[in-house]
Amino acid sequence: MLIEFLNTSMTDLIVQKFGGTSVANLDRIEKIAEIIKSSAEINNVVVVISAMAGETDRLFSLGQKYFNQDNIREMDALLSTGEVVSSSLLAMCLSSLGLKAKSFNASQLKLMTKKDSSNKFATILSIDTALIKNEIAHGVIPIITGFQGVDEKGDFTTLGRGGSDTTAVAVAAELKAKECQIYTDVKGVFSADPNKVNDARVLEYVTSEEMLELSGQGAKVLALRSVELGHKYKVPIKVLSSFEQSQGTKIIYNEPTDMEQSVVTSITSEPNQAKFTIYGGKSGNDFSSSVLNLMAQKNIFVDVIVMNYELNGAIDFSFTVQQGNSVEVESILKENKGQLFDDYISESDLSKISVVGVGMRSQTGVASRVFSCLEGSKTSLKLVSTSEIKITLVLESSLEKTTVESLHREFFK
Amino acid sequence: MLIEFLNTSMTDLIVQKFGGTSVANLDRIEKIAEIIKSSAEINNVVVVISAMAGETDRLFSLGQKYFNQDNIREMDALLSTGEVVSSSLLAMCLSSLGLKAKSFNASQLKLMTKKDSSNKFATILSIDTALIKNEIAHGVIPIITGFQGVDEKGDFTTLGRGGSDTTAVAVAAELKAKECQIYTDVKGVFSADPNKVNDARVLEYVTSEEMLELSGQGAKVLALRSVELGHKYKVPIKVLSSFEQSQGTKIIYNEPTDMEQSVVTSITSEPNQAKFTIYGGKSGNDFSSSVLNLMAQKNIFVDVIVMNYELNGAIDFSFTVQQGNSVEVESILKENKGQLFDDYISESDLSKISVVGVGMRSQTGVASRVFSCLEGSKTSLKLVSTSEIKITLVLESSLEKTTVESLHREFFK
């Protein structure tokens, strides 16, 4: 009977992940214990948990002074204590409510990882699900420390920021869970930032492709890597709030057949962007990849990239970066001016607005509807970039608010 | 060559243990890193470390709200993070000084433990020394988390307060280390409390038997359990300060042959004692063990016990407790008066003074020299208890200071 149970995929199992603000203090831990208790009355539940809000930063700042390439092993051991604290507190809290619960760190769980080439962040190789299934079979709610793993030597590793999301999705994938619920401090994925657009509403679902675009566009609800992982293993993910009642947003893996679905799913915006345009590149593609290489060496993330061949064969090459990187980019370009290219110009105080939706793939005229919202501000447009499911505009920050509102009206009226 | 090394006992190895105040902050961690660095130039070093001062209390108070018999496993997991933080920080600090160092928690070290009958505190069964020896053979300084162990299921356990001392002595015993250095915030074991007696001096050595008596008499420099363990395995222990230069005090296992050695090693004193005397016990030994049982059930530590059969067959039964327990003791005695015994009286504001030394075993007249120091205060003496190497006096607290000074003059002039 038990063996049979251990071999089946767990069709009645849900994985619930709670982030740092959801376990910020004992009051919050008690709130999520109630959520877990309710869920456990209907389903088998496995919990994945982050460190208490601010704890990972506190631990990192303690070790920062001595941090170097040689002691990443120790920094990982240090950081991994954050999730041990929150998971054992939650297990104790659940036990005080009369439930059986046990915390498991990555070592106990044999959550095996491999370091990436930078030796800093690890990716998950495998998880010992037999242990989790055995605990569930004995009526125990396993509380798993997020963000951490171990390597083949038994040394702790960490999965990088947002790593607990990745842990949760990986656990759900391995256990073939019915659903992976990511509890956050927002109600779900919105059609636009509710702080900027009054009518913004929680979306019932977004496709995983849209979520990938949105995660990359400043929507902080779900870490990019966990969406990629969910996409790969088709994990049914739902994003919802641990602070207030909400339906949440499902991540789906097939395009909706619902005809009423808007062609556009969400509109995101990000201020504090800077744009650089380079003229007279010296050696075709080589020159642009050389410039991008120089940026990568300094860990500068280059965001939107646009390249255009002029009639006369010259190359216009534009890209955007976070405004905070402007000074460094400027100094790199100054150093290479005259060798790789003739000259460059920079612009700052820009915003990036993205219109995302799988619907636009099958519908023409989305671009023209987008441009219709730019009435009277078209001259301020600095850059346009498009993909199959996204149109990105870069324009003066002063126009961000009205443009986002206008786009939201156009596609969500 | 390596195999040969791994099989030898480590005659050039020292174990260094640093307590919570020695790792209270990064400045302190850097200070002890310098101590370790100096030692590592001469010897192979294994380090055992406590949590940063106050951290174990902080963690305990977080979990206290939910703490019960069912979730001791989780409380242990929670508390064990304290030593992981300090050990990884120290390893990083040593690495920043150019040394090779690695932290190991109890699970990585396979420091196997067994719970006691209360299921609360664990005792050490074994330690995987192969791993430590292997690291040393590769030039690495192992930093071991004190206070924690694991059980056969891989669950974390804790060794109780002062547990890091126990870890250090156990590691030293297993590795057959040349010396186990316990770094504290005092210069060593004193002939008397230097805050009370001006002439008090650091003792070069005390016997383990004396140390056992002293640990039980309020000398907080070394946890009682670690002295017992050191005594059992004859571990060469030295107590010294991580705050200032000092020779420290050695714990030795044979009586010194040095003729100059004083018959008395140390004089300790503790205020805030209360004494209870019970009259007319009902059934001989049964009555006194019944009373002691009642105290034990309420977790009241009964200290000095004196029992005397009167000529008429009646029994005088006196004992002391910490004054903080007086109210509770009083209520227990009130409840049982008339059943177990006829009546009782209580006295408070007392001090306990102990004169300890293996020398008194072979020398007569120590008691008379002790009593000669009580000139003029003899009428205030409340209780006297003696063992082979100890004389304990209980008297009014107002006489504590002058009596200790007088005893110190008598035996250390």
- From chain A, pick out residues whose CB is under 8 angstroms from the CB of B78: 84-85, 88-89, 92
Contact assignment for A88 to B102 by CB distance below 8 Å: no
Whole-number pLDDT of residue B114: 92
Q: At residue A96, does pLDDT exceed 90?
A: yes
Mean pLDDT of A380-392: 84
pLDDT at A8 over 70: no
Residue A143 dihedral angles phi and psi, to the nearest 5° = -110, 115
**Between chains, do B88 and A70 touch, taking CB under 8 Å as contact?**
no
pLDDT at B124: 92
Task: Indicate the residue of A59, A68, A92 with minimum beta-carbon distance to B63.
Answer: A92
Residue-wise pLDDT for B391-400, tens only, equals 888 999 999 9
Residues of chain A found within 8 Å of residue B109, distances taken between Cβ atoms: none
Task: Count A/B contacts: CB-CB distance under 8 Å.
Answer: 99
Q: Among residues B203, B124, B202, B130, which one has the least CA distance to residue B169?
A: B124
Asked if the model's pLDDT at residue A31 lies above 90, the reply is yes
Distance from CA of A54 to the nearest CA of B (A): 16
Nearest to A59 among B68, B73, B85 (CB): B85
**The sheet that has B315-322: what strands, in order across it?**
B305-309, B315-322, B266-279, B343-356, B390-396, B381-387
pLDDT of residue B160: 84
Q: What is the mean pLDDT of residues B368-374?
A: 84
Which chain B residues touch A93 with a CB distance below 8 Å? 66
Q: Is the pLDDT of residue B259 over 50?
A: no
Q: How far apart are CA A33 and CA A31, in angstroms?
A: 5
Query: Is pLDDT of A364 > 80?
Result: no
Nearest to A381 by CA among A392, A366, A365: A392
Sign of CA dihedral B144, B50, B196, B373: negative
The encoded tokens of residue B172 equal 């030293």
Question: Measured between CA atoms, how close is A97 to chain B, in angstroms?
Answer: 9
Known binding-site residues of B for ATP equal 17-20, 184-185, 220-221
The arithmetic mean of pLDDT across residues A159-168, rounded, is: 90
Determine the pLDDT at residue B325.
93
pLDDT at site B91: 97
Chain B contact residues (CB < 8 Å to A): 26, 59, 62-63, 65-68, 70-71, 73-75, 77-78, 80-81, 84-85, 87-89, 91-93, 95-96, 102-103, 105, 107-108, 154
In chain A, what are the domains?
2-185 (3.40.1160.10)
User: At residue A280, does pLDDT exceed 90?
Assistant: no
Say whether pLDDT at B255 is over 90. no
Please judge whether B92 and A74 are an interchain contact, meaning their C-beta atoms are less than 8 angstroms apart. yes
Q: What does the pLDDT look like over B198-216, one tens digit per residue?
A: 888 899 988 888 888 886 6
Which is more confident, A292 or B328? B328
- Please report the pLDDT score of residue A330 as a whole number: 94
Distance, CA of A157 to CA of A75 (rounded, Å): 9
User: At residue A6, does pLDDT exceed 70?
Assistant: no
Beta-sheet strand order (sheet of A179-184): A101-104, A141-145, A44-49, A13-18, A179-184, A237-241, A249-252, A205-207
Confidence category of residue A11, pLDDT binned at 50, 70, 90: low
pLDDT at A263: 82
Residue by residue, DSSP assigns A257-287 as --TTS-S--EEEEEEEEEEEEEEEESSTHHH
Nearest residue to B361 via CA among B337, B384, B387, B334: B387
ipTM (interface pTM): 0.79
Higher pLDDT, A117 or B238: B238
B102 contacts in chain A (CB < 8 Å): 73-74
Q: Closest to B75 (Cβ–Cβ): which among A59, A92, A102? A: A92
pLDDT at A10: 61
- Least confident among A96-105, A202-211, B3-12, B162-171: B3-12
> Which of B16, B23, B4 lies closest to B45, judged by CA?
B16
Identify the band that residue B310 occupies on the pLDDT scale cut at 50, 70 and 90: low
Output the pLDDT for position B257: 63
Residue A218: pLDDT above 60?
no
Mean of all residue pLDDT scores within chain B: 87
Closest CA to B44 of B11, B76, B77: B11
CB contact under 8 A, B92 and A71: yes
Q: How far apart are CA B41 and CA B98, in angstroms?
A: 13
* Predicted pLDDT of residue A141: 98
DSSP per position, B219-284: -TTS-HHHHHHHHHHT--EEEEESSS----EEEESS----TTS-S--EEEEEEEEEEEEEES-SST
Q: Identify residues of A whose CB sits under 8 angstroms from chain B CBs.
A: 26, 59, 62-63, 65-68, 70-71, 73-75, 77-78, 80-81, 84-85, 87-89, 91-93, 95-96, 102-103, 105, 107-108, 154
- Rounded to a whole number, what is the distance in Å from the CA of B97 to chain A's nearest CA? 9
Chain A residues touching B80 at Cβ < 8 A: 84
The C-alpha of B220 sits at a distance from chain A's nearest C-alpha, in angstroms, of 29
User: Which is higher by pLDDT, B192 or B89?
Assistant: B89
For the cut 70, the answer to whether the pLDDT of residue B384 exceeds it is yes
CA–CA dist A175, A127 (Å, integer): 9
- Provide mean pLDDT across the span B33-49: 96
- What is the predicted pLDDT for the residue at A259? 46
Which chain A residue has its CA at the smallest distance from B154's CA? A108
* Minimal Cβ distance to A65: which of B26, B63, B84: B26
pLDDT tens-place string over residues A288-324 = 788 888 888 888 888 888 877 666 666 778 899 999 9
Cross-strand partners of A13: A44
Interchain pair A66, B78: CB under 8 A: no
Phi, then psi, of B376 in degrees rounded to 5: 85, -10
Identify the residue with better confidence: A293 or A60.
Answer: A60
**Whole-number pLDDT of residue B1:** 44
Give the Cα-Cα-Cα angle A28, A33, A34 (nearest 5 degrees).
100
Mean pLDDT of chain A: 87
- pLDDT tens-digit map of B209-238: 888 888 665 556 787 788 889 988 999 999
CB contacts of B95 in chain A (<8 Å) are 66, 68, 70-71, 74
- Is A342 annotated as ligand-binding? no
Return the minimum-mean-pLDDT range out of A57-61, A90-94, A399-403, B293-297.
Answer: B293-297
Neighboring chain A residues of B81 at a CB cutoff of 8 Å:
81, 84-85
Q: Kindly tell me if the per-residue pLDDT of A32 is higher than 90.
A: yes
Find the range with the poorest average confidence among A52-66, A346-360, B34-48, B278-292. B278-292
Asked which of A38-42, A187-191, B181-185, B357-361 is least confident by mean pLDDT, the reply is B357-361
Residues making up chain B, counted from first to last: 413
DSSP codes joined into one string, A173-189: HHHT-SEEEEEESSSS-
Partners of residue A96 in chain B, C-beta under 8 Å: 65-66, 68, 71
Answer positive or negative: Cα dihedral of A131, A137, A140, A143. Answer: positive
Which chain B residue is nearest to residue A131, measuring alpha carbons?
A: B153
- pTM, full prediction: 0.82
Confidence (pLDDT) at B245: 85
Average pLDDT over residues B8-22: 84
Shortest CA distance from A72: residue in chain B: B92
Beta strands in A323-412 (DSSP E): 341-356, 381-387, 390-396
Q: Is the pLDDT of residue B363 over 80?
A: no
AA letter at A96? S
Find tokens 């057959």 and name the residue: B176
**Which among A30, A59, A74 is the top mutation candidate for probing chain B, defined by the most B β-carbons within 10 Å of its own β-carbon?**
A74
Segment A50-77 shows an average pLDDT of 93
B37 versus B197: the higher-pLDDT residue is: B37
pLDDT band, residue B96 (cuts 50/70/90):
very high
**Is A68 in contact with B96 (Cβ distance < 8 A)?**
yes
Looking up tokens 């005229």 gives: A365
Is A364 within any annotated ligand binding site? no
Going by the DSSP 8-state scheme, the letter that residue B190 receives in this structure is B
Q: Which residue has the higher pLDDT, A324 or B386?
A: A324
Q: What is the pLDDT of residue A1?
A: 44
Q: Could A107 and B102 be called an inter-chain contact, meaning their C-beta atoms sit closer than 8 Å?
A: no
Q: pLDDT per residue over B107-150, tens digit each?
A: 999 999 998 777 777 899 999 999 999 999 999 999 999 999 99
